[in-house]
Structure 1
Amino acid sequence: MATEAVKATSHTFDVALQWDKISQSGVIRTGNRMPVLFAAPPEFNGTDTVWSPEHLLVASISSCYLTTFNYFAQLLRVELKDIRVRGEVEIEKVSGGGFWAKAYRIYPEIEFPNTPDPHVIDNLLSKAKRYCIVSNSVKGEVIVEPQIRYN
């Protein structure tokens, strides 16, 4: 784990997008990362065959929550057997026009190989929500409904 990078006080992340007017879809690129195809969703006259901005938004919050939870689990030396996160975003029309993301629901399913102390689990859940950069950057309410299993 690169703890020096985490200690930095500022980070910049960049992306480049290119739109193809024939396919009515675009591609997101940055560095050596795999490109991501995107388009408007069917609800906004788009397609369901590539990622929509709305799906990328909830995927960003869900993946940020997962990686933040995992970071603190490693830092606190709490062993995880499995972690999965499902997420959804509620988009609502605003009076006067436009839409906004009213609420994000995150459903982490976390399995531990043993039974950690309940305060350890509460601490991890709290830290993951509090330190998730993406969920701290949105206006809508972020609701986390975890399922915890022990094996």
Structure 2
Amino acid sequence: MPEKLHAYDTEVTWTGDLGTGTSTYRAYDRAHEVSAAGPPPILGSADPGFRGDPSRWNPEQLLVVSLSQCHMLSYLSLCSMNGVVVTGYTDRAHGTMAETADGGGHFTEVVLRPEVEVAEQGMTDKALALHGDAHRVCFIAGSVNFPVRHEPVVSVRGG
């Protein structure tokens, strides 16, 4: 069976010209907008360590949250198909990036820490096991070249 292709169109618009463009490294702001047809724009900047605005999303955060979202959505789908009733889900993901001597860098890992609440005690083992399956089917995790680990915790609603 042929692969089913999906296309994603986005737009990034730099809004950080302070009057002299990129005449020097310190002469411009890293502000930009990320947009696509439909959702509201995301206000972006660079990481504060690279002269960015800490009140705006940076690309590194967006990569980590993309992995977290994909894992959650894959996981919830698998739970619904496997009789696990999830009543709450929070992930406090953590990504680590290493800068290299040549001015570049790369992510070394992302750790997902989902805290899942299920409806009944008898669902906890399956709820834990489905994280491995969710990782395998997550489109974003399958697209990166660094480890994505998960450290799930499962509790029972009202327990």
Q: TM-score range by the shorter chain?
A: 0.7 to 0.9
Q: TM-score, normalised to structure 1's length? A: 0.87
1:36 to 2:12 alignment? no
**1:35 partner letter:** P
State the Cα distance separating 1:124 from its structure 2 match.
Answer: 1.4
Choose the corresponding residue for 2:63, options 57, 73, 81: 57
**1:136 partner letter:** G
Choose the corresponding residue for 1:129, options 126, 135, 143: 135
**C-alpha contact 2:11 2:34 (8 A) present in aligned 1:** yes
Counterparts of 2:31 and 2:80, CA distance in 1: 39
Tell me, which stretches of 5 or more residues in structure 1 are unaligned?
1-7
**1:114 partner letter:** E
Between structures 1 and 2, the one with greater strand share? 1
Aligned residue number for residue 67 of structure 1: 73
State the Cα distance separating 1:128 from its structure 2 match.
Answer: 0.9
1:115 to 2:110 alignment? no
- Aligned residue for 2:121, secondary structure, equals coil
State the Cα distance separating 1:138 from its structure 2 match.
Answer: 0.9
Tell me, which stretches of 5 or more residues in structure 2 are unaligned?
19-28
Q: TM-score, normalised to structure 2's length? A: 0.83
The worse-fitting range, judged by mean Cα deviation, of 16-25 and 37-46 is 16-25
**2:12 partner letter:** L
1:15 to 2:10 alignment? yes
Counterparts of 2:135 and 2:104, CA distance in 1: 28
- Aligned residue for 2:86, secondary structure, equals coil
- Aligned residue for 2:69, secondary structure, equals helix
The share of aligned pairs that are identical, in percent, is: 24
Choose the corresponding residue for 1:87, options 93, 103, 111: 93
* Structure showing greater Rg: 2
State the Cα distance separating 1:31 from its structure 2 match.
Answer: 1.1
